[in-house]
Chain A
Amino acid sequence: MAHRSAAELEEERLEILAAQRDRAAFATLYERYVDQIHAYVYTLTHDMEQADDVTAATFTKAIEELPRFEWRGVPYSAWLYRVAGNLVSRDRRRPGWIELESRMLPDAGADPAEQVEADARAYEVRAAVAELPHDQRQAILLRFGGELRNREIAEIMERSEGAVKLLSFRALTALRRKLGAPLPAERLTGSGS
Chain B
Amino acid sequence: MTPEDLLDAALESDLAAFGAAPDIRDLLETGAEVSGALGTWHLDADTRSRIYAAAIADAIAPGMNARLRALGFDRRVQAIAGGAVVILAALAALGVAVGRGRRRAPAAASALGAT
Contact = CB atoms under 8 A, between A and B. Distances in A.
Given A172-B7, A176-B30, A181-B29, A56 B36 contact: no
Interface string A157-180: 000001001101100110110010
Nearest to A191: B36
A30 B52 contact: yes
A95 interface: no
A56 B51 contact: yes
A63 B38 contact: no
A129 B36 CA distance: 13
Interface in A88-133: 103-105, 107, 118-119, 121-123, 125-126, 129
A77 to B, nearest CB: 13
Interface string A58-76: 1110111000000000000
Contacts of B56: 60, 63
A192 B35 contact: yes
Contacts of A119: 40
Nearest to A119: B40
B112 interface: no
B30 A172 contact: yes
A7 interface: no
A55 B41 contact: no
A141 interface: yes
Nearest to B55: A59
Nearest to B13: A1
B15 to A, nearest CB: 13
Contact of B47 (A103, A172, A186): A103
B31 A1 contact: yes
Interface string B78-112: 00000000000000000000000000000000000
A144 B34 contact: yes
A63 B55 contact: yes
16 contacts: A1-B12, A31-B48, A35-B41, A38-B41, A52-B47, A55-B55, A56-B55, A107-B40, A121-B37, A172-B27, A172-B34, A173-B27, A176-B26, A186-B36, A190-B32, A192-B39
Interface of B: 3-5, 7-8, 11-13, 26-44, 46-48, 50-52, 54-56, 58-59, 65, 75
Given A125-B36, A145-B41, 4 more contacts: A129-B34, A144-B38, A172-B27, A191-B35
